[in-house]
Structure 1
Amino acid sequence: MKNLSTILKASAVAMLFLVAVSLNAEEWAQTKYDPTGTWDYEVETPDGNVTGEMIVAMEDGEYSVTIKSDIYGDMTLEDITFEKNVMEGTISVEGQSMEMELKFDGDEMEGAVYTGEDELAITAERQKKN
């Protein structure tokens, strides 16, 4: 009976250890991914696709995102959050506030621009460093 109790305690400790390690591995994977760089993006709109560059930078421990467009000029993503490789924020386009959700995976990104009731798909590819 005493051996059964010892085995159960050891099993419980092992399970707790495995749970702790898996949680730390997820946090480590999140902090390891770096979305910074220059991205070539394309947004699908009813009036045709819009393309340009999106520059993701890290400044003083916070992300900054500048979106360059030949049509709308330079825009800045505000109220940025980044968790589990998903970046969210708001952008103002011609006075209209829009939300963005960007899901990063390696050198590719896909997401959406929410314009009121409409959802516009956005994709991007990170430019290769020379």
Structure 2
Amino acid sequence: MAKKISGLDEHWTAFIKCILVHMLLPLLPLFIEWLLTHKISNSSYTITIAIYAMTIGASSTNSIIAIICIFIGIIFSVLYGAAVSNPKLIFDIQLWSIMALLTIFVPHALERYNRHVYEKQEFKIFGQK
């Protein structure tokens, strides 16, 4: 007799949903810009990282991660103004944006692993109760 194939544990499912919806979906505009133009503008990098950093920091339960994210958000808000006012900026915004993104993403993903897989906290999206 055939045996049922078990799916992912509900806590791993919560973690994967969190990574996809909470951490990757907000970066979709950068991906679409790259897909359509084969490049990403400095202003797109800076505004995306500024907002991303602030929102990830606000959702973090770790105060150090939150402070670092808010600090990165402030820096990239200033860089956004510089990129808009001077499009020929001689500053490697792409490199710094990727470094900032990794600085935000990796620790928060580890925090979310602990929350959803280890502590077995649900991940609710779109108004789930």
Band the TM-score falls in, shorter-chain normalisation: under 0.3
TM-score (norm 2): 0.26
Flag the structure with higher helix content: 2
Higher relative contact order (CA 8 A, sep 6+): 2
Bigger Rg over Cα: 1
TM-score by length of 1: 0.26
